[in-house]
């Protein structure tokens, strides 16, 4: 996963998330799946949701804008990347 290990409040970040596979070995690509990154912080019930933008090569572009990160409190955040296709969701 290309998510930066450290995010500073007020800074912007961007990265490419590569395609993957589900537990049965089926490909998960941007051609047929959407990708959403959920960021959560327990202390202040803060959260951010970042939608991936499909790329022609099957991967996704992700960006955390400076405006999104400006209110992030310091501490340990948790994340989950969810790929969705129709009624299927894979984490």
Predicted confidence (pLDDT) at residue 66 exceeds the cutoff of 70: yes
What is the rounded average pLDDT of the residues 59-75? 93
pLDDT for res 89: 95
What is the rounded average pLDDT of the residues 58-81? 93
Predicted confidence (pLDDT) at residue 1 exceeds the cutoff of 70: no
> Could you tell me which of 17, 29, 21 has the C-alpha nearest to residue 58?
29
Rounded Cα distance, 91 and 89, in Å: 7
- Give the global pTM: 0.89
Phi and psi at 68, nearest 5°, equal -70, -45
Instruction: Give the model confidence (pLDDT) of 4-50 as tens digits.
Output: 888 999 999 999 999 999 999 999 999 999 999 999 997 777 899 99
pLDDT for res 50: 96
Instruction: Measure CA of the first residue to CA of the last residue in the chain; give whole Å.
Output: 12
């Amino acid at each position: 996963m290309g998510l930066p290990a450290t995010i500073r409040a007020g800074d912007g970040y961007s990265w490419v998330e590569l395609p993957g596979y589900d537990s049965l070995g089926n490909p998960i690509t941007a051609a047929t799946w959407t990708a959403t990154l959920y960021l959560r912080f327990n202390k202040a019930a803060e959260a951010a949701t970042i939608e991936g933008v499909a790329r022609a090569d099957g991967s996704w572009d992700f960006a955390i804008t400076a405006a999104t990160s400006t209110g992030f409190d310091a501490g340990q955040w948790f994340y989950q990347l969810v790929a969705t296709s129709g009624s299927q969701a894979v984490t």
